[in-house]
A and B are shown apart, each in its own frame.
Chain A
Amino acid sequence: AQKITQTQPGMFVQEKEAVTLDCTYDTSDPSYGLFWYKQPSSGEMIFLIYQGSYDQQNATEGRYSLNFQKARKSANLVISASQLGDSAMYFCAMRGIYNQGGKLIFGQGTELSVKP
């Protein structure tokens, strides 16, 4: 079975500071992919970043980076230089290699609030 855990229901960060959102996972698949999505108050789901379990380097996309620690089964999202528009729900998700056609599993989410 696969499981994603996000233990921070809510977080605050000061504008222009960096913030780390935690994500731990559990899977028995030998290869898997990890995703982060953003959900602003308007409700749409926005894909942010992807990390493959065999990727040699941590993924980066602009101000987003993924701190991937395979041995610890963690895939934390780091947002640098936070902006007011970063206030949103953030979801970590995973797909295993034996479920390439489906079963994208999400965590509980972390609500990030950026303070001016």
Chain B
Amino acid sequence: NAGVTQTPKFQVLKTGQSMTLQCAQDMNHNSMYWYRQDPGMGLRLIYYSASEGTTDKGEVPNGYNVSRLNKREFSLRLESAAPSQTSVYFCASSERGLGTEAFFGQGTRLTVV
């Protein structure tokens, strides 16, 4: 059981380039999330999707767009990368419900130069 799969694992971009981070889950979860992790800042929610066809902004959505392609897939797009977007990005998924744990992908380490 693969769980949550993110691609790529590492990426270096030049300022102004665009890219899409891919995420897929095989647990039939309704909710999916994108976080970024920076030292001293913890995990900050970028966007989330409570169900197929819906997306909502999290704490730090500026500079990002998302697509919930279907129930399995939730992608994160950087249209014009900036050095401030250098971070580790995590995708996660969970069932709906107050106490349902989130399952995380392995993370994508993105460097924007």
Give chain A's interface residues, CB within 8 Å of chain B.
Answer: 4, 6, 9, 31-33, 35, 43-45, 47, 50, 52, 91, 93, 95-97, 100-109
Residues of chain B touching chain A, judged by Cβ–Cβ distance below 8 Å, are: 30-31, 33, 35, 40-45, 48-51, 56, 58-59, 88, 90, 92, 94, 96-99, 101-104, 106-107
Extra 20 A-B pairs, beta carbons < 8 Å, given A35-B102, A45-B90, A104-B94: A32-B98, A33-B99, A35-B101, A43-B88, A44-B106, A45-B102, A47-B101, A47-B103, A100-B98, A101-B31, A101-B96, A102-B48, A102-B49, A102-B56, A103-B45, A104-B45, A105-B59, A106-B43, A108-B42, A109-B42
**Identity of the chain A residue whose Cβ is nearest the Cβ of B48 in the assembled complex:** A102
Q: Are A104 and B30 in contact (CB under 8 A)?
A: no
Given that A52-B99, A101-B51 are known contacts, is A45 also in contact with B104, CB under 8 Å in the complex?
A: yes
Which residues of A have CB within 8 Å of B45? 103-106
CB distance from A46 to the nearest CB of B (A): 9
* A109 vs B51: C-alpha distance when bound (angstroms): 28
Residue of A45, A50, A93 contacting most chain B CB atoms (<10 Å): A45
How far apart sit A65 and B15, CA to CA, in the bound complex (Å)?
A: 45
Closest residue of chain B to A49 (Cβ to Cβ) is B101
Inside 8 A of A4's CB, which chain B residues have their CB? 42
A50 in contact with B50 (CB, 8 Å): no
Residue of A whose beta carbon sits closest to that of B38: A108
Are B40 and A108 closer than 8 Å at their CB atoms? Answer: yes
